[in-house]
């Protein structure tokens, strides 16, 4: 009987561990995201974030986003950047526009690790809306529309989180469908 109980416990433990492990490596842009890698090392593998990675490199933010953090990154997809007026991205990655690019990119980062549970808690505490302060110093507002997490930037632009809780060793990424803009 004791062996049966131990065997059953082992099977349940293995099943649970396998399920938890699988949840830690979601697919983003056709690539597995590993919680043992940092934000940059994961992002470079996502085919949906090549524009973001190029912008991070142009802004000189690679080492910052590889550091211990933790950071919460709202990561726009290539399609999100494609919504910007024609030529915007090409203009922003020019060396003379590094300060503007850095301002925009750091507006997508919140200090600390805010997964969807933490954001939901902040939304509840805020009576249905949470105000988040970005690393850039600006504000973002978050709320739920049904089961979707929506963000509003300082210019009134709206973005939806399409993939939440992509855990990294130095934070968490939430994939978004629109580039956020500070004042």
Determine how many CB atoms are found less than 10 A away from the CB of residue 38.
18
Tell whether 28 is covered by a domain.
yes
Tell whether 80 is covered by a domain.
yes
What share of the chain in percent tops pLDDT 70?
Answer: 87
- Pairing, β 71-76 against β 109-111: antiparallel
Report the C-alpha gap between 21 and 42 in whole angstroms.
17
Tell whether 71 is covered by a domain.
yes
The pLDDT value recorded for residue 35 is 80
The pLDDT value recorded for residue 46 is 82
Sheet holding 130-133, edge to edge: 109-111, 71-76, 171-176, 158-168, 148-152, 139-145, 130-133
Tell whether 148 is covered by a domain.
yes
**CATH number of the structural domain spanning residue 19:** 2.30.180.10
Tell whether 34 is covered by a domain.
yes
Tell whether 181 is covered by a domain.
no
The pLDDT value recorded for residue 67 is 82
Residue 11: pLDDT band (50, 70, 90) is very low
- Which DSSP category does 45 fall into? T
Model confidence, pTM = 0.83
Determine how many CB atoms are found less than 10 A away from the CB of residue 163.
18
Report the C-alpha gap between 128 and 87 in whole angstroms.
37
Kindly list the distances between the CA atom of residue 104 and the CA atoms of 25, 120, 134, 169, 178, in Å, as whole numbers in the listed order.
28, 24, 10, 24, 12
Q: How many domains does the chain have?
A: 1
Q: Which residues contact 160 (CB under 8 A, 6 or more apart)?
A: 148, 149, 150, 151, 176, 177, 178
Tell whether 183 is covered by a domain.
no
What average pLDDT does the segment 49-77 reach?
Answer: 88
Q: Is the pLDDT of residue 84 over 90?
A: yes
Residue range 13-37, pLDDT digits in tens: 343 333 334 445 777 877 778 788 8
**How confident is the prediction for the chain on average, in pLDDT?**
84
Higher pLDDT, 68 or 175: 175
Range of the structural domain that residue 25 is part of: 2-176
Tell whether 162 is covered by a domain.
yes
The pLDDT value recorded for residue 69 is 86
Residue range 124-141, pLDDT digits in tens: 999 999 999 999 999 999
CA nearest neighbour of 118 among 84, 62, 53, 72: 72
């Amino acid at each position: 009987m004791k062996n049966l109980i131990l065997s059953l416990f082992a099977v349940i433990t293995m099943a649970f561990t396998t399920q938890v492990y699988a949840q830690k490596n979601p697919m983003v842009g056709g690539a597995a995201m590993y919680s043992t890698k940092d934000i940059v090392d994961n992002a470079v593998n996502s085919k949906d974030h090549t524009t973001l990675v190029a912008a991070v490199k142009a802004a000189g933010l690679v080492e910052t986003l590889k550091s211990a953090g933790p950071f919460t990154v709202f990561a726009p997809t290539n399609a999100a950047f494609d919504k910007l007026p024609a030529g915007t991205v090409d203009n922003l990655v020019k060396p003379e526009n590094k300060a503007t690019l850095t301002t925009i990119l750091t507006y997508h980062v919140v200090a600390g690790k805010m997964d969807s549970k933490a954001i939901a808690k902040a939304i509840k505490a805020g009576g249905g809306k949470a105000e988040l302060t970005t690393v850039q110093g600006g504000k973002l507002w978050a709320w739920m529309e049904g089961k979707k997490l929506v963000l509003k930037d300082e210019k009134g632009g709206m973005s939806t989180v399409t993939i939440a809780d992509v855990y990294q060793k130095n934070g968490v990424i939430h994939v978004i469908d629109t580039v956020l803009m500070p004042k």
